[in-house]
Amino acid sequence: MSDIIYGFHSIKAFLEHHPERFLEIFILQNNDSYRLQSLVKELKSAGLSILFTSRQYLDAQTGGGVHQGIMAKVCSAHQYQENELPALLNSLDTPFVLVLDGITDPHNLGACLRSAEASGVQIVILPRDRSAPLNATVKKAASGAAENIPVIRVTNLARTLRVLKEYHLLIIGTAGEAKKTVYEARMTGSMALVMGSEEKGLRRLTREHCDHLIRIPMLGRVSSLNVSVATGVCLFEAVRQRNMKKI
């Protein structure tokens, strides 16, 4: 099976980490931008061949996405299955998991995956329903992160949270009305951070399976942050706490 990726950051990240998985690379013909030509030079230096094509073809293949004049067909990554979660957890000393409960906007999902990879998250869990598919738009927004981190879709998120508890993970959910802020929570051990949907936040059953609820303190007139921004804030507070002993 193959996937489509597009855009400078996605192609460059894929070249750095998975060059062997390129199948075909398409470049917009008659495009002499320095940025594009510089990337083409890197691709050719890696022994990869380039095909030149029209803007209409790129637009059609990427669904009208902002492809920046470059697109590639690549071998699909391993698709992690729900039954692989226990083995993944067993392989980790101190699991750091991100659970995204119903992120339906592909740009938000991609940005969350990018923050997850950058912060050292080892597993991302998504519900099978009520979640954006891992399509080319998500992968472009993730800038290569979607290829570097196990993403598992699960049928029943509440049941999966119970599995995480069986493996001694602390489940920390986010909610605007929580009494404790993200800066007051302990986020140093085995844990799963659970982020809710863009509009409604955590679902009731998801919330009930959290050990603690936290919030990001808001000091201005805006009452909430975009979910991808909020995810980054919470993840990197966890990074700060988890790395204090190493500083």
Q: Which residues are annotated as a binding site?
A: 196, 216, 225
3-state secondary structure of 123: strand
Residue 54 has phi, psi (to 5 degrees) of: -90, 160
Half-sphere exposure for 226 (CA within 13 Å, toward CB): 11
DSSP 8-state code for residue 144: T
Q: Tell me the binding residues for S-adenosyl-L-methionine.
A: 196, 216, 225
Residue 162: how many other CB atoms lie within 10 Å? 12
- Residues 122 and 239: beta-carbon distance below 8 Å: no
Half-sphere exposure for 123 (CA within 13 Å, toward CB): 30
DSSP bridge partners of 63: none
Cα Rg of the chain, angstroms: 20
Distance CA 213, CA 218 (A): 16
- Residues 217 and 181: beta-carbon distance below 8 Å: yes
Q: What is the identity of the amino acid at 164?
A: L
Question: Rounded to 5, what percent of the chain is helix, strand, coil?
Answer: 40, 20, 40
Number of residues that this document lists for the chain: 247
